[in-house]
Amino acid sequence: MLARVIELINEYLKINAIRRMFSMVNIRKSEILGLVGLAALFAVFEGVGLSMLLPILQYAESGETAITTGSGVIWSSAANILRALNLPVTLVVLLLLAFIPILLRQVVYYFNAWYSAIVANRIGVRMRVNTLNAVLDADPSFFDRQPVGHLVGIAVTQTEAAGEAVLWVVKQLSVSLLMLLYVAIMIALSVPLTGITVVFALLVAVVVKHSITRIRDFGIDAADVNQRMMAKIVERFGLMRLVKMRDQKTLESRRIEEYSETMRDIRVKQARLGASVEVYADPLLMLSVFVTLYIGIAHLGMTLAQLGLMLFVLNRLNAKVKEFNTGRQMISTKMAGLLLVRQTTAEAAEANTIHRGSVAFDGLESSLVFDDVSFDYPQSQGLDGEILDEATSVLRGISAGIPAGSLTALVGRSGGGKSTLVELIPRLRDATSGSITLDGIDIRQFDVGTLRKGIGYLTQDAMLFNESIRENLVYGLDYEPTDDQIRDAVERAYAGFVYELPRGLDTMLGDRGVRFSGGERQRIALARVLLEDTSILILDEPTSALDSESETFIQEALAKLHGEKTIITVAHRLATVIQADQLFVIDDGQIIERGTHEELIGRDGAYHKLFASQLLG
C-alpha cells in the first residue's frame, strides 16, 4: 500500500521522467542548483509569510491572550521572533511580520523568473548547436537518407520546442516545491485534513492522466506532420521549375493545405483535451475544499483561525495543482520536439564513422596509392527502421598508383563507381576494406580537416552559396587573400567576367547561384579551388553540364595546372582524356583497363568501345 502511494507520488511529480530529461538536455549541475535554490528560497519566504497568517487570525479572534493560549510551532516561533526583535505583539507588527517575507518572496520571484529564462534559452541554444554539430559531423550517407526540410525543422522548430519543454520542467520544479511547502503547513495545522487533500490531489492526477497521455500522443503526431510538411515544402520549392512546367500549383498547394488541416485537427483535439482536464480537475478540487471544511468543523472542532488559514493554504495549493496540470500538458505537447531532436542527434552521431586521425596533411609529394580498395554502400533504413535498400557492393579490389604531379583520368559507363571512388580520397566516405595512402601514410591517420583542406574538389554541381562572389571565393580559406591573389585565381579560372559586373566581386549569387549561367558558376567555383592552392585536385565531371565554350575555358585552365598539381579527373571528353598521363576504365566497380590513350585505343577493349560509342567524343 505504502509502496503504491510512493509510486503514485513519484508518478505524479514525474521524478524519473524529469531525471531522464535532465540527462538528455545537458543542463549543468550549477544551473540545476541555482534553479532549485531560488525555488526553495521562494518557497521559504512564501511559507513564512503564509504561516504568519495564523497568528494574525488568532490575534483577531482572541486578542493578546492568543499568545499565551495559542500553542503550536507557528505561534511559538512568531513569539520568539517578536521577543528577539524586542517588539510588542500588536496587529500592525504581526501584519508587518507577514508582509516582509511576501515582499522578499517577490524579489526572489523576479530573480527566479529571470534565471529560468536564461537557463531555458541556454539549453535551447545548446541543443541547437549540439544538433548542428552532430549533423555536420555525420557522413554523407546520413544526408542521403534525410530530407533537407526535415533537418531544417529539427534544427529550428524542434530544438525550440525542446527548450520550451525544459523551461516547463523547470517551472514544474518550483511548483512542486511550493506544493510540498503547502502540504507541510497543512500538516502543521492538521494531519488528517492534509491526508484528505493529498488524496484528492492524487485523484485529480489519476483522472486527468489519460487526457495528458493523449495530449502527448497528439504532440508527437503534430511534430511528425510538421516535419513532413517542412520536408515537402523545401523539396517543392527546390524544384519550382518542374512544378510550374507540369502546372501543379493547385495540387501542390492542396497538398500543403491537407497537412495544415491535419495539423489543425490535432491542435483542436489537444485544446479540447486541455479544456477537459480543467473540467475534471476543478470540481474535484472544490470538493476537497468542502470535505475539508466539513470534517474540520464537524469532527475536528478546529478554530476559525485554523480553518481560515487551512482554507487559504488549500486555495493556494489547489492553484498550484492546476498549474502543475498545465505544466504537464505543456511538457506533453513540447516533449515530441525533445524526442525528435534526440533521435536525429543520435542517428547523426551513429552515422559519424569517420574518425579524425592526428597527422597534419601538408601536400602530396610522391604518390597516392589505392591498395585493394572495396566499398559497399551500407544498408539503408527508413525512419521507422524498415529496410529500404540492401547493402550494395560498389567498388571491388581497386589497386592503382597515382604519381604526384600527374593527370589521371577515370572513364567508364555511368554507375560504374567513379564518383564513389574519388569521394574516398577526401574521406567523404571510408573504404569498406583495403587502404588508400598518401606518400605511404594511410589517409585514416591524417587529421581529416587538414586532409580535406589539402584537396581541391570540383563536381558537376558548382557548390556556391547565396552570398557575394567574394564570400564564395574565400569560403573556408586559411588565409586572407590579397586582391591580387584573388584576381590571379579568377583569371586563371577564366572567370574575369566578374570584374565587369557593376558591383564586381560584391555581386550576390542568388540561391544556388541562379544569377549566373552554369559555365559562369563553374568558373567561379574553379577560382575558389585555385585560391585554395592545394596539391591535389579532384574533378568529378565538372564540365559535363556545360556548353562547349564554357567547357573549353575550364579545359584550358586545367591544362595549365597539368604537372603543377596531382589531378584526378572523372571525364568523358576526349580533350581531357588525351592529355592524361594514365587512364583507368572503371566498370561495375572494377578497373578493367589501364594505360594511356594511345595504348588503350590500340586495344580492342572497353576503352575502344567507349570511344566508338562517342562517349568520349
Where does this chain bind ligand ADP (CB under 6 A)?
144, 377, 392, 394, 414-420
Quote the least distance from Cβ 400 to Mg ion, whole Å: 17
Quote the least distance from Cβ 410 to Mg ion, whole Å: 9
455 binds, among ligand ADP, Mg ion, none (CB under 5 to 8 A by kind): none
Q: Given the DSSP bridges, would you call strands 536-540 and 455-459 parallel, antiparallel or unpaired?
A: parallel
**Contact footprint for Mg ion (CB under 5 A):** 419
Quote the least distance from Cβ 463 to Mg ion, whole Å: 15
Residue 97 or 422 with smaller CB distance to ligand ADP: 422
Helix 191-238 vs helix 2-13: crossing angle, to nearest 10: 40
Residue 394 or 473 with smaller CB distance to ligand ADP: 394
368 binds, among Mg ion, ligand ADP, none (CB under 5 to 8 A by kind): none
Residue 411 or 486 with smaller CB distance to Mg ion: 411
Helix 53-62 vs helix 91-137: crossing angle, to nearest 10: 160
Q: How far apart are CA 200 and CA 185, in angstroms?
A: 17
Residue 216 or 418 with smaller CB distance to ligand ADP: 418
CB 337 within 8 A of CB 160: yes
Give every strand in the sheet of 441-442, ordered side by side.
392-403, 367-377, 433-438, 441-442
124 binds, among ligand ADP, Mg ion, none (CB under 5 to 8 A by kind): none
Question: Which residue's CB comes closest to Mg ion?
Answer: 419
Quote the least distance from Cβ 571 to Mg ion, whole Å: 11
392 binds, among Mg ion, ligand ADP, none (CB under 5 to 8 A by kind): ligand ADP
Sign for the pseudo-dihedral over CA of 560, 564, 569, 571 = positive
257 binds, among Mg ion, ligand ADP, none (CB under 5 to 8 A by kind): none
Residue 182 or 370 with smaller CB distance to Mg ion: 370
Q: How far apart are CA 454 and CA 478, in angstroms?
A: 11
Quote the least distance from Cβ 594 to ligand ADP, whole Å: 16
User: Nearest to residue 451, comparing CAs of 418, 475, 480, 428?
Assistant: 428
Q: Given the DSSP bridges, would you call strands 407-411 and 387-389 parallel, antiparallel or unpaired?
A: unpaired
Residue 565 phi, psi (nearest 5): -125, 160
Residue keyed to cell 559497399: 376
Residue 94 or 585 with smaller CB distance to Mg ion: 585
User: Nearest to residue 95, comparing CAs of 86, 105, 108, 82?
Assistant: 82
Residue 419 or 432 with smaller CB distance to Mg ion: 419
Quote the least distance from Cβ 422 to Mg ion, whole Å: 9
Residue 215 or 231 with smaller CB distance to ligand ADP: 231
Quote the least distance from Cβ 13 to ligand ADP, whole Å: 47
Q: Given the DSSP bridges, would you call strands 407-411 and 582-587 parallel, antiparallel or unpaired?
A: parallel
420 binds, among ligand ADP, Mg ion, none (CB under 5 to 8 A by kind): ligand ADP
Quote the least distance from Cβ 608 to Mg ion, whole Å: 22
CB 267 within 8 A of CB 273: no
417 binds, among Mg ion, ligand ADP, none (CB under 5 to 8 A by kind): ligand ADP
Residue 274 or 417 with smaller CB distance to ligand ADP: 417
| Cell numbers for 69 | 493560549
| Cell numbers for 94 | 504581526
30 binds, among Mg ion, ligand ADP, none (CB under 5 to 8 A by kind): none
Q: How far apart are CA 330 and CA 530, in angstroms?
A: 54
Q: How far apart are CA 303 and CA 383, in angstroms?
A: 64
345 binds, among Mg ion, ligand ADP, none (CB under 5 to 8 A by kind): none
Residue 392 pairs in a beta bridge with 377
User: Nearest to residue 513, comparing CAs of 524, 504, 528?
Assistant: 524
Residue 418 or 565 with smaller CB distance to ligand ADP: 418
Report how far Cα 297 is from the mean position of its chain's Cα atoms.
57
Quote the least distance from Cβ 371 to ligand ADP, whole Å: 19
64 binds, among ligand ADP, Mg ion, none (CB under 5 to 8 A by kind): none
CA distance to 193, 226, 339, 417, 526, per residue, from 560 (Å): 92, 51, 54, 28, 13
Quote the least distance from Cβ 572 to Mg ion, whole Å: 10
